[in-house]
Chain A
């Protein structure tokens, strides 16, 4: 058991390292570097960067060195707990990300809650009343979210919110509270603005969840203990809810670990359209500006969260299910 955990930990470290190499490589794949994109953006707003200046900038930012050395330097900084300076932002990467991380988590959690609130009841219903009209209907509705491109849905919902319900356009706060310090009123304002992004973000995940819940539960319902319970005359809702649903939920509980990074990286485009102050649009802009420290850190962060999440999930799963524990040895 301990040996297994140690082995997994070592593998996790190895994976994280591989992710760091890969993310650094991805960011360097497009031709050019931050200075190129800086020059282009200056050019577009009517300024100019001379060749000498470009060379000096590359030198200052260390972009003139071979990629391996740049990587080594980045790693060196990382190991000291320093993520470097976000080039376009002129602020330390940790500050820039830190600003947005808490709201990102809030939105993601809201989206996850929405997904579960919609998908679990539908999943249970369609397992119990399989091939019924309502099974089809609910499944259909649940799958719509998967089928609509998120950016389209986001734009439409945002416009309808504005045109017919007088909602604020995008963002997570009304203008009055955008700058205000945290207070209960601001929290309330945030709560009022959460549903639209939560629904748009969460709806794409419902289908998957419905599908899994349905099949897990079907699996359980066939087992003899359910039949026994029925035979003993337990009320039907207890027969279903008491044990089978709980057992069917087990695999879900163990996936909580890496739910967050999935939702965060899945929300990039929608966050951009809805102008949410989350890390998604930040990552997108950093990639366009080829700001390797900022983009690299975010990609790595999401990667690490996934790895750690998976690790925790596996541990949880082992703890829950002895069959797996034995199988590993």
Chain B
């Protein structure tokens, strides 16, 4: 996927942060409250009004919890393969047993049907595998340093990896649920890391461009124009193919984030530049200059705080594009590659007809991608709408 067409992103169109203003409740008390509220409070009040944004934020918190505690949410080694449990469909969980709450799944026996060539798994009604929460299972390092073996879900007897397949398995018999947890970790952080890089580039270059103007501005604007005029895919392909083959998975990961952020910063730079240009004309900046404040003080003490919310909004809105980019890169075989696990890597396995027809559960990773992208967009919209409380 290329970045979506930036239709009205003409540099000179007014910043699109329009709002009807907080609907003021009649009565002086409320007015008073607004008058003394800090900028952040005002933003929060307004943000709360945006239901989609609030929902999006909630979802994202969940996603980042999963990212942070992927080891805990997964219940087995995401790389452990076994052909004898290849392509198991998501299991049905039976919540009640003998009238009481006691979730279980049926044990499965599988073989390949010699006529249809599909793997067929038959649940054995006699064999119940009881689930338990916060069960002990594979040991891991909680948060990277606390040894632990508790997982969100586990089975009461035996190893969870042998009998529990909440979201089914892939061709190699790897547990999709556990893979999805680790993929979430990778993909959600790739978004953050790349956007951080974009942010630095965008703010510095956009800020310089907007504040100083003149020749510097022209040069930077040209660079942005050139970068945006080149279709993304050749740029990616060139850069990704140029990565040294001997790089490890981690190095490739960071290289990919840099490649993706190369595209992302231009949009941020534009926002920042636009803000700088409009703020320069504001009375308070003029006043600061007259008082004799230093340039850096004007920028960081006066200007930056007044548009930081816009930057947050723009940043939030840049993340979903990065997430989609990651999946596209994987589709092209240029992004993260196995054994790394990301949403893109998982979707690569689903990008064929047999997945659609025989094992549609391999498409499940599409759902978190869609949900995360929507959530980021809604949250970003909410922040942006809320960013101009005094309007």
Q: Report A's interface with B, CB cutoff 8 A.
A: 11, 14-15, 18-19, 22-23, 25-27, 29-31, 130-131, 136, 139-140, 143-144, 146-152, 155-156, 159, 204-205, 207-209, 211-212, 215-216, 218-219, 222, 251-252, 254-255, 259, 261-269, 283-284, 287-288, 295, 299, 302-303, 306-307, 310, 313-314, 317, 324, 327
Bound together, the chains give a CA A35 to CA B181 distance in angstroms of: 43
**Which residue of the partner chain, among B5, B332, B351, contacts A262 with CB atoms under 8 Å?**
B5
Contacts of B6 in A (CB 8 A): 208, 262
Residue of B nearest to A25 (CB): B238
13 further contact pairs, Cβ within 8 A, besides A146-B4, A155-B351, A212-B8: A29-B239, A29-B242, A131-B49, A140-B52, A143-B378, A148-B366, A149-B331, A159-B357, A205-B5, A255-B9, A261-B229, A284-B233, A288-B237
Residue of A nearest to B331 (CB): A151
Contacts of B353 in A (CB 8 A): 155, 159
Residue of A nearest to B222 (CB): A15
Contacts of B3 in A (CB 8 A): 266
Bound together, the chains give a CA A207 to CA B332 distance in angstroms of: 24
Could you name 8 residue pairs across A and B whose Cβ atoms are closer than 8 Å?
A23-B234, A148-B370, A151-B331, A152-B363, A156-B356, A262-B6, A265-B233, A317-B10
Contacts of A288 in B (CB 8 A): 237
Q: Is the interface of A mostly helix, strand, loop or mixed?
A: helix
Given A27-B234, A287-B237, A254 and B1 touching (CB < 8 A)? no
Bound together, the chains give a CA A100 to CA B231 distance in angstroms of: 18
**B241 proximal to A (CB < 8 A):** yes
Expressed in whole angstroms, the minimum distance between the Cβ of A132 and any Cβ of chain B is 11
Bound together, the chains give a CA A317 to CA B11 distance in angstroms of: 11
B3-37 interface with A by 8 A CB criterion: 3-10, 12-14, 16-20
**B203 proximal to A (CB < 8 A):** no
Given A22-B230, A151-B331, A269-B332, A259 and B369 touching (CB < 8 A)? no
**B324 proximal to A (CB < 8 A):** yes
Q: Is the interface of B mostly helix, strand, loop or mixed?
A: helix
Q: In the complex the two chains form, is A219's CB within 8 Å of B18's CB?
A: yes
Q: Report B's interface with A, CB cutoff 8 A.
A: 1-10, 12-14, 16-20, 49-52, 218, 222, 225-226, 228-235, 237-239, 241-242, 320, 324, 327-328, 331-332, 347, 350-353, 356-357, 363, 366, 369-371, 373-374, 377-378, 381
Bound together, the chains give a CA A149 to CA B335 distance in angstroms of: 14
Q: In the complex the two chains form, is B230's CB within 8 Å of A299's CB?
A: yes
Q: In the complex the two chains form, is A18's CB within 8 Å of B381's CB?
A: no
Q: In the complex the two chains form, is A209's CB within 8 Å of B369's CB?
A: no
